[in-house]
Structure 1
Amino acid sequence: MTLDPTAAPPDAGPARLVRPRQPRGRDALRRLCGGAVHLPGDPGYDGARRPWNLAVDQRPAAVAYPADAGEAAEVLRVAGRHGLRVAVQRTGHGAAALPPLDDVVVLRTAAMTAVRVDPGRRLARVGAGVLWEDVVAAAAPHGLVGLHGSSPDVGVVGYTLLGGLGWLARSHGLACGSVTGAELVTGDGTSLWADAETEPELLWALRGGGGGFGVVTALEFSLHELATAYAGWLAWDLREAARVVPAWAEWAQAAPDEVTTALRLLRLPASPEVPGPLRGRSLVVVDGAVTGPPERAGRSIAPLRALAPETDTFASLPAAALSRLHGDPGCPTAGLAEHRLLTSLPPAAVEAVLAVAGAGAGTSVVSVELRQLGGALDRAGAGGGALTGLPGAYALVAVAAPGDDPAGARAALTALAAALRPWSAPRRYAGFADASTPAAACWDGPTLSRLRAVRAATDPAGQVVAAPDLDGAGDEPEHAATSGAAVP
């Protein structure tokens, strides 16, 4: 969707009658990036500041569009001289997790779009502004794939630095485990290359430790051989959820590692973007991908087909089709979200989910998604990194439409999280965090201490704003859950 750069965000409310507050160093900021900068009050500022999640009304000190690493370094240096920090965004999918940006320059990487695929070495090198759909298109002719997620329009760098949980996760692990090198600008504006030989500790941190170590302007990662996959959707009316959800949960725990699926309770809009038979309906959907021969893949999902779905699209597909399989929204939208990692999904947990999002619930929660974990996510990656897997059996992401009652939507999500607390793991996945989340909830103590040491070396002044915030002190996980036992 092309955004009107002069239009106010839909949730911005009435026009302000006071002049916008101008940032410190206004004239110096204006000269950055060859003039590709928007300051408060500029005609293009509202369009430039708007993140993908339209529920977030961020109002940064400036928005800058560097063309390369040199211009990104200059943004960091100038911002630092004037007491401002920098936050990096390509799309702003994760904007809700960031703190207020009033004294922050948002660095938009949209101009850094170089993609280079080396099929012989099975490597890709991409600029900080590259979206996953660009990598899919470049790698597919060589029978290769990157470990992308469920949205083709998500930025490669941000997704990967936080882990990267996609359709090949149970067979190939998190995307961050495939990172082999990165070009990074440190907090003081110094450019460097990090790989296993030159900066091994920094490379370790970039493999799942988030974006708090500087501005990553290019990323290199391994590609994987895959020409086709057995993939698709199975769908039932939402009234079948009490039957389908427990059966899927039990099947998911025994499925082979080559299977990665997600189950969703969906309330689909009556929109032309939704296929006609599904438009305006409430459904249970299982979608996903199976690698390996189609015959074996078909046997793997046979127990789900035995549940008599009304829609079944599973078939052999080009691997490139996986990036659009999930049907995530293709343009900016407003949403509130809640996330947990679940150790198990017994009948009481299913009841808790259905009470909020089942057929009889009057709710603003439009999607409750459970992603199947395990497999390679239970094993340490070959190269190692700050995040090598995810604890638990399922990753839950619930999304509510704020509409005219954002407080009610947030309350519904909070109630769901509270109801699932007895089966929630003590850790969370930073890639799904859509609100302020303590760093100690995403990484264990030794890993977090090591990440903070790397940040102290590359950005001692804390110039780069990232979420989760590695600088947070005394941030402990909400609880110490144990293998599904109730937590007092």
Structure 2
Amino acid sequence: MAETGLANEADVGDLREAMHGRLLAPGEPGYDEARRVWNATADRRPALIASCADVTDVQTALGFAVARGLPVAVRGGGHSVAGFSTCDDGMVIDLGGMRAVSVDPERRVARAGGGATGADVDRATQEHGLATTLGVVSTTGIAGLTLGGGIGWLMRKHGLACDNLLAVELVTADGRVLRASADEHPDLFWALKGGGGNFGVATSFEYRLHPVGPTVYGGGVMFDRGRRRAVLEAYRELTREAPDDLTTYTAMTDGPDGTPVAAVAACYAGDPAEGARLLDPLKAAVGEPLLDGLGPLTYLQQQSRMDEAYPRGAYHYWRSCFLDDLTDAVIDVLVDRASDVSAPPALELIVEHLGGAITAGDGAFAHRGASHDVLIAANWTDPADEAHCVAWARDTAAALAPHSRGGYVNYEPDAGGAHVPAAFGDRLARLAAVKAAYDPHNVFSLNQNVAPAT
């Protein structure tokens, strides 16, 4: 058996025997594949990877790591842009084997394991004509997505993913299994709705479901890059009047052939004819599109249509900023910074329309009053492009900083806590108090970390 360097072989052997799932150490078959995560910039070598089969495995692996002072990384879908799903010389608690989803169509409730992806939940719920807000890339794990807030196509009509939580099963740093809900550990439940992975290992989630589909009006429309200002201005007018049933994004990105374009993507969770009526004025205002892919499609198609654009194994560095308004000054910055958008590498500026039901939610998500969020996404496949891509994203974030009210927890990179105050805003003190109650020794520090109150 391979030596971990952080625990003796006998102890590791005992852990292996105690687990129902699989334990991997460096040098063992399957380790190199198991250590890889979605973002290739997070190329790390854990001392141990515990592929957990059940909650007992999570308790066992976590207890082993805590007793030996090992860093702990929790992996749901492994999609963390910041690389929080892995670590060097520590323990990765991998929930990928805990993906089961059950649906109670009468109560409109879904229960999903902490390793489930959006696709797992969508497939199970759509069998009953139901859905809840999840992300826009269906391979994303539900755990990190939900704990950080959960931006997705249904958010303006039904709130963020965290707003649809009914309960979370959590293994805390001291090994307890808690159920957090409005009636059980309500302080913890509040914190889990936007406070990230600061409080424990979330082993299952219960979501409120809503009638959705099977058909929605969605997809996207692309225009020549020279019309990006016109697209942004038309998009602003659309979002100022949009009903809550309509969620839209606009993007300065690249088209299917790699040509830079200005695009608008949408999901209208109602009558497709009404969706077309709402989007047609934007197309009329901008002019003839290069590609018009707006139309009726199944909700499952809508949820997975971006998957190919974000494959596992590429490199990513993202930044973000929430906006109070999509002002002329912001549009000036976006147009200017979009002049560098080209492929490869894939540099993208994506504006997401918020508001609607998001404003009525509770929990630790701090930016409910924002009108939009800007995702500054640098994506590349050639390691030689890293310096250029990271510099572009940072410079773009700096240009937008005067207009920003903070960044989105799930998009921001790890920077030694630099993004934490703005990400959590006026929720930070309350989050620190909850952290002190449930993780006073900061075992769960690989996240946008909230230090325990003292």
- Secondary structure (helix, strand or coil) at the match of 1:431 reads coil
Give the equivalent residue in structure 1 for 2:317.
336
> Structure 2 residue aligned with 1:350, among 317, 331, 335?
331
- Secondary structure (helix, strand or coil) at the match of 1:170 reads helix
Q: Distance in 2 between matches of 1:90 and 1:360?
A: 31
> Structure 1 residue aligned with 2:351, among 360, 364, 370?
370
> Structure 2 residue aligned with 1:116, among 83, 102, 110?
102
> Structure 2 residue aligned with 1:260, among 247, 252, 276?
247
Report the more deviating stretch, 204-213 or 69-78. 204-213
Return closer, same or farther for 1:35/1:101 CA change in 2, 3 Å cut-off: same
Q: Which residue identity lines up with residue 260 of structure 1 in the other structure? A: T
Per-residue CA distance 1:319-363 (angstroms, 9 max, x = gap)? 232212335424332122121112333334323223332378798
Q: Distance in 2 between matches of 1:101 and 1:360?
A: 32
Q: Distance in 1 between matches of 2:341 and 2:122?
A: 40
Is 1:160 the counterpart of 2:146? The answer is yes
Give the equivalent residue in structure 1 for 2:235.
248
- Secondary structure (helix, strand or coil) at the match of 1:396 reads strand
- Secondary structure (helix, strand or coil) at the match of 2:232 reads helix
User: What is the number of residues matched between the two proteins?
Assistant: 442
Give the equivalent residue in structure 2 for 1:142.
128
Cα distance, 1:195 vs structure 2: 2.0
- Secondary structure (helix, strand or coil) at the match of 2:183 reads coil
Return closer, same or farther for 1:65/1:363 CA change in 2, 3 Å cut-off: closer
Give the equivalent residue in structure 2 for 1:208.
194
Q: Distance in 1 between matches of 2:342 and 2:115?
A: 41
Per-residue CA distance 1:400-449 (angstroms, 9 max, x = gap)? 23531312211111111111122112x2221222333532221123x222
Is 1:93 the counterpart of 2:71? The answer is no
TM-score normalised by length of structure 1? 0.84
Q: Distance in 1 between matches of 2:170 and 2:333?
A: 44
Per-residue CA distance 1:168-220 (angstroms, 9 max, x = gap)? 11111111011111111110111122222222222111122111111111111
Mapped contact 1:51–1:95 kept (Cα < 8 A): no
Give the equivalent residue in structure 2 for 1:434.
413
Mapped contact 2:171–2:202 kept (Cα < 8 A): yes
Return closer, same or farther for 1:355/1:388 CA change in 2, 3 Å cut-off: closer
Mapped contact 2:254–2:342 kept (Cα < 8 A): no
> Structure 2 residue aligned with 1:62, among 48, 56, 64?
48
> Structure 1 residue aligned with 2:388, among 382, 387, 408?
408
- Secondary structure (helix, strand or coil) at the match of 1:460 reads coil
Q: Distance in 2 between matches of 1:265 and 1:68?
A: 43
Mapped contact 2:442–2:452 kept (Cα < 8 A): no
Mapped contact 1:438–1:472 kept (Cα < 8 A): no
Structure 2 residue runs of 5 or longer lacking an equivalent are none
Report the more deviating stretch, 342-351 or 255-264. 342-351
- Within 5 Å, which residues of 2 pair with 1:5-16? none
Q: Distance in 2 between matches of 1:99 and 1:88?
A: 5
Mapped contact 2:314–2:379 kept (Cα < 8 A): no
- Within 5 Å, which residues of 2 pair with 1:19-418? 22-30=5-13, 31-32=15-16, 33-34=19-20, 36-96=22-82, 98=84, 101-227=87-213, 228-268=215-255, 278-306=256-284, 307=286, 308-327=288-307, 328-358=309-339, 364-377=345-358, 379-381=359-361, 384-387=362-365, 390-402=368-380, 403=382, 404-418=384-398
Q: Distance in 2 between matches of 1:222 and 1:96?
A: 28
- Secondary structure (helix, strand or coil) at the match of 2:375 reads strand
Q: Distance in 2 between matches of 1:103 and 1:89?
A: 15
What is the identity percentage for the equivalent residue pairs of Structure 1 and Structure 2? Answer: 33
Give the equivalent residue in structure 1 for 2:441.
461
Q: Distance in 1 between matches of 2:248 and 2:194?
A: 22
Return closer, same or farther for 1:200/1:246 CA change in 2, 3 Å cut-off: same
Return closer, same or farther for 1:305/1:405 CA change in 2, 3 Å cut-off: closer
TM-score normalised by length of structure 2? 0.90
Return closer, same or farther for 1:296/1:211 CA change in 2, 3 Å cut-off: same
Q: Distance in 2 between matches of 1:419 and 1:159?
A: 27
Return closer, same or farther for 1:195/1:35 CA change in 2, 3 Å cut-off: closer
Q: Which residue identity lines up with residue 216 of structure 2 in the other structure? A: A
Mapped contact 1:158–1:211 kept (Cα < 8 A): yes
- Secondary structure (helix, strand or coil) at the match of 2:350 reads strand
Q: Which residue identity lines up with residue 214 of structure 1 in the other structure? A: G
Q: Distance in 2 between matches of 1:362 and 1:224?
A: 38
Q: Distance in 2 between matches of 1:417 and 1:178?
A: 30
Q: Distance in 1 between matches of 2:419 and 2:439?
A: 19
Structure 1 residue runs of 5 or longer lacking an equivalent are 1-18, 269-277, 475-488
Q: Distance in 2 between matches of 1:360 and 1:36?
A: 43
Q: Distance in 2 between matches of 1:293 and 1:390?
A: 27
Q: Distance in 2 between matches of 1:142 and 1:421?
A: 44
Report the more deviating stretch, 169-178 or 296-305. 296-305
Q: Distance in 2 between matches of 1:25 and 1:69?
A: 25
Report the more deviating stretch, 239-248 or 211-220. 239-248
Per-residue CA distance 1:19-70 (angstroms, 9 max, x = gap)? 9862234542343335722223334322221110012222222211111000
- Secondary structure (helix, strand or coil) at the match of 2:261 reads strand
Return closer, same or farther for 1:25/1:147 CA change in 2, 3 Å cut-off: farther
Is 1:450 the counterpart of 2:433? The answer is no
Report the more deviating stretch, 460-469 or 177-186. 460-469
Return closer, same or farther for 1:349/1:473 CA change in 2, 3 Å cut-off: farther
Per-residue CA distance 1:354-405 (angstroms, 9 max, x = gap)? 333237879845211111122222x222xx3222753422211122235313
Return closer, same or farther for 1:365/1:414 CA change in 2, 3 Å cut-off: farther
Mapped contact 2:38–2:311 kept (Cα < 8 A): no
Give the equivalent residue in structure 2 for 1:11.
none
User: Over aligned residues, Cα RMSD in angstroms?
Assistant: 2.5
